[in-house]
Structure 1
Amino acid sequence: MSQVSPFHQHYKKKDEHDSLRPERYEGGDDDDDDDTNPQGRWQMSKVSPFYMLYIDENVNRRRLRGGKDDDDDDDDDDDDEFYTMGHDGELDICGKFIKCCMFVANVIMFIGGVVIVILGVWTIQEKGFINALVGTNLFLGSVYILIFCGVALCGVSFSGCLASVREMKCLLLTYALAVFILLVMILIGGILAYTFRDKVHSSMEQEMYSSIKTYGEEKALSRAWDDIQEVLECCGVMSYTDWKGHIPESCCRLSSGKRVNCKVFQTSLNIWKNGCLNVTEEFIRAHAAIVAGAAVSVSSLMMIGFIFSLIAHRIVVEKEQIQEDEDEEEDN
């Protein structure tokens, strides 16, 4: 060793230092080539394979971050929290777009749930008297289903907004399951309402002729007849002659805000002309179509929210997997 010149020792130390640079492992250009530097090649073989892997990972990480050095890792920690599916900026934007769409869809679903509840409550309170005359509970049953689904939809959509903002994997999966169940129930309610729309005439005529005979005896049926004749401005089943001379006051027309005494003067000028069967049938068909249309519209929004929730859940899972892989790489 004493015979080695100081210049040779200097270049040997330089080769030992250069052999540890990342350019050696990337195949980059170097001033000292391996063919002319056997000392550097010998020193490179002494490097641990784990250290070589560590250098390669850091080089790739700098490439993904635009050539930043490891000294800037602390500054990039906050930026990594916003990565959605990886280090690629395009995927990050895609993930944020999915989260935004899911949030907006849930807000619209919340509004749709409120509309369904209001529509259902209005139908029961204002038009519930029809149920006593049509001979079936199918219409109001479907309305009750939609009211329940509307209330549940408000709660589920709120949790969906929270899950999309907080990126909670468990809540996203629970939300998707709840939306699917509500979707099925709302579709059932809408189908029942639409089915009832086509079965009104068959059961309604028989029930109305049967109930008109007990007018004045059963309080519920008498109240239902009075309500339907006052609200829908009709009289009898097919016409006022169905009452056979015993016309109730609810069949009388209004004049200056007061009802005309049509019990004494039974003419078409004082009594509603239209029969209640056709008028009620048209009314139920129209409202059943509205309820079914609202159910289909909200179901479409729920389907969109369901799809977005599955995509968001997959994004969160991939994000956590990437984070775990990065933690393992740092530990190694």
Structure 2
Amino acid sequence: MAPQRRSTTRQQLDFDYAAQGPSRIPRGHGRAPNGPPQPSSRRTPRRSRRESETEVGCCMKYSLFGFNVLFWLLGGLILFIGLYAFIEKRGLIQDLENVSSVHFDPSFALIVLGFVVFIVAFLGCVGSLRENNCFLLLFSTILLIVLLAEITCGVLAYAYRDWVKDNTNKLIVQNIKEYREDPDLQDIIDGIQSELECCGGESANDWDNNIYFNCTGTERDQLIPEACGVPFSCCKGSGSSADVINTQCGFGARKTSLLSFNVHSKGCVNKMETWIRDNLVPIAGVVLFVLLIQVFGIFISLTLRADINRQRSKWLAQY
């Protein structure tokens, strides 16, 4: 008797639905002819949680952000050091009056380098954190331009080695003229000559271009101690390992033989060439590391832009 009772109950339900009409049928269900209610084939589309969430990669986003924060801080530090040295050395007003010679100032080079690094890293930070396509495109474009410029300069420098050598010597001679005028430049020249154990560009006679060390062949050479001499950094044993440095060891060194004054006779251009040849592997490693950092930044920024554009296309399609 139990199975017949269940059948009667099911028939009674069909009869009740038919009597009440379609308006009383629960939403989301339909009734097949001469049969029980069936689920409707038309369902309200329900958006899944996965579709409602952003698909911009958090790993790429915050990796690029952290990568640029480090360089942003580094650029700010370099910029601060350059500005401090630029202003403190002779005063801001005098530096601005001598703009014509500013390209020989090492502090100005630090200012330019720090400013470029600071701005590029700032674009990367804001672009990644705010998912700004414009900033990310500008960041990757600048990095790509810098990367191509570095590779081009490296190839041209190798192809035109003699031209680079000649212009390096001209640059050293020009800086020799400004030796006493710029304390920072003086420290750089002394450091190079002491560490490379060299003197001048091609030879110690390049110091004849400096008004304090030149030889005029007049009575002045006897009155001025530095005349016909070289800086103390040209003397042998004046490197960083020396306990006591004789700052007057090069006075009058070019009046007679350089060997009698214990002064380096080789120029710094040839010494630089030898140093690069001897340390080619470490230099190549540093250059490769710098290039890989730039390639890494370009790759992450372009990948993040692709994620942003893909997610934006999905939003436009849904709404």
Q: Say yes or no: TM over 0.5.
A: yes
CA distance in 2, matches of 1:196, 1:141: 25
Q: CA deviation at 1:290?
A: 4.8
1:314 aligns with 2:310: yes
Q: Report the Cα offset of residue 230 of structure 1.
A: 1.5
User: Alpha-carbon deviation of 1:315?
Assistant: 0.8
The residue type equivalent to 1:256 in the other structure is D
What amino acid does structure 2 have at the position aligned with 1:204?
K
Give me the identity figure in percent: 13
Q: Is the 8 A contact 1:240 1:275 kept in 2?
A: yes
- By how many angstroms is 1:235 displaced? 0.9
Tell me, yes or no, if structure 1 residue 173 matches structure 2 residue 133: yes
Residue 145 (structure 2) pairs with residue 185 (structure 1): yes
Q: CA deviation at 1:189?
A: 4.0
**Does 2:259 correspond to 1:279?**
no
Contact 1:149 1:182 in 2 (8 A): no
CA–CA separation in structure 1 for the residues paired with 2:145 and 2:307: 23
- Unaligned 5+ runs, structure 1: 1-5, 25-29, 42-51, 66-79, 127-135, 165-171, 325-332
Counterparts of 1:222 and 1:288 in 2: how far apart (Å)?
35
Match of 1:22 in 2: 28
Which amino acid in 1 is paired with 2:65?
Answer: N
| TM-score after normalising by structure 1 | 0.53
**Equivalent residue number for residue 34 of structure 2:** 35
Helix, strand or coil for the counterpart of 1:303?
Answer: helix
In the alignment of these two chains, the number of paired residues is 250
1:109-128 CA-partner distances (Å, limit 9, x unpaired): 332354467679989989xx
Q: Aligned match of 1:231 in 174, 179, 191?
A: 191
**Residues in 2 aligned to 1:143 and 1:156: alpha-carbon distance in whole angstroms:** 20
CA RMSD in angstroms comes to 5.1
CA distance in 2, matches of 1:173, 1:192: 28
Structure 2 unaligned blocks of 5 or more: 1-11, 87-102, 209-214, 216-227
* Alignment equivalent of 1:252, drawn from 224, 235, 240: 235
Name the structure, 1 or 2, with higher relative contact order (CA <8 Å, separation 6+). 1
Question: In 1, Cα distance between the equivalents of 2:34 and 2:13?
Answer: 19
Question: Counterpart of 1:237 in structure 2: which amino acid?
Answer: G
Calculate the TM-score normalised by the size of structure 2: 0.55
1:104 partnered with 2:66 = no
Aligned match of 2:43? 57
The answer on whether the counterparts of 2:61 and 2:129 sit within 8 Å (CA) in structure 1 is no
Question: How many angstroms does 1:186 deviate by?
Answer: 1.9
Map 1:1-332 onto structure 2 (within 5 A): 10=16, 12-13=18-19, 16=22, 20-24=26-30, 34-35=33-34, 56-58=42-44, 60-61=45-46, 83=50, 86=51, 92=53, 95=55, 98-115=57-74, 147-164=114-131, 172-191=132-151, 193-195=153-155, 197-198=157-158, 199=160, 201-205=162-166, 208=169, 218-219=177-178, 227=187, 229-232=189-192, 233=194, 234-240=198-204, 246-250=228-232, 251-253=234-236, 254=238, 256-259=243-246, 261-263=249-251, 266-267=258-259, 270-272=262-264, 274-281=266-273, 282=275, 290=286, 293-322=289-318, 324=319
Give distance in 1, aligned partners of 2:64 and 2:151: 23
Q: Which amino acid letter does the alignment assign opposite residue 235 of structure 2?
A: C
8 Å CA contact 1:142–1:192 kept in 2: the answer is no
Determine if contact 1:142/1:189 at 8 Å carries over to the other structure.
no
Q: Deviations over 1:286-310 (max 9, x none)?
A: 8898577535522431331122122
Tell me the CA shift for residue 108 of structure 1: 0.6
- Residues 262-317 of structure 1, C-alpha deviation per residue, up to 9 Å, x if partnerless? 44674378323542112344479988985775355224313311221221232134
Once the two structures are superposed, residues 41-68 of structure 1 have per-residue CA deviations (whole angstroms, 9 ceiling, x without a partner) of 9xxxxxxxxxx8xx8333x52xx66xxx
